Structure 1
Amino acid sequence: MTSRIPFLLRWNDNDQYGHLNNTVYYEAMDTAVNTWMMRHCGLDPAGDVIGLVRASSCEYLAPASFPDELEVDIAVARLGTTSVTWDLAILRAGTGRDDALALGRFTHVFVDAAARRPVPVPGRVRGAIEARLRLGG
Structure 2
Amino acid sequence: MNNTTYYEAMDTAINTWLIRSAGLDPAGETIGLCVASSCEFHAPASYPEELVVEVGTERVGRTSIAWRLRILRSGGAEVIAVGSFTHVFVDSTTRRPTPIPESIRQAVAELHA
TM interval, shorter chain, is over 0.9
Question: Displacement, 1:56?
Answer: 0.5
Question: What is the aligned length?
Answer: 113
Q: What are the within-5 Å matches in structure 2 for residues 29-108 of structure 1?
A: 29-96=10-77, 99-108=78-87
Unaligned runs of 5+ in 1: 1-19
The 2-side partners of 1:133 and 1:71 are apart by 19
What is the CA RMSD across the aligned residues, in angstroms?
1.0
Question: Displacement, 1:132?
Answer: 1.7
Q: For the Cα contact (< 8 Å) 2:56–2:111, is it kept in 1?
A: no
Runs of 4+ off more than 2 Å: none
The corresponding residue for 2:92 is 113
Question: Displacement, 1:94?
Answer: 2.0
The 2-side partners of 1:47 and 1:55 are apart by 22
The corresponding residue for 1:3 is none
Q: For each residue in 1:70-127, what CA deviation from the matched residue of structure 2 results, as whole angstroms up to 9, or x when unmatched?
A: 000111000111000000011101223xx21110001000000000000011100000
Q: What are the within-5 Å matches in structure 2 for residues 17-36 of structure 1?
A: 20-36=1-17
SS in 2 for 1:101: strand
Q: For each residue in 1:26-85, what CA deviation from the matched residue of structure 2 results, as whole angstroms up to 9, or x when unmatched?
A: 000000000001001111111110000011000011000112110001110001110000
Query: TM-score when scaled to structure 1?
Result: 0.80
Amino acid at match of 2:51: L
The 2-side partners of 1:52 and 1:110 are apart by 6
Amino acid at match of 1:56: S
SS in 2 for 1:23: helix
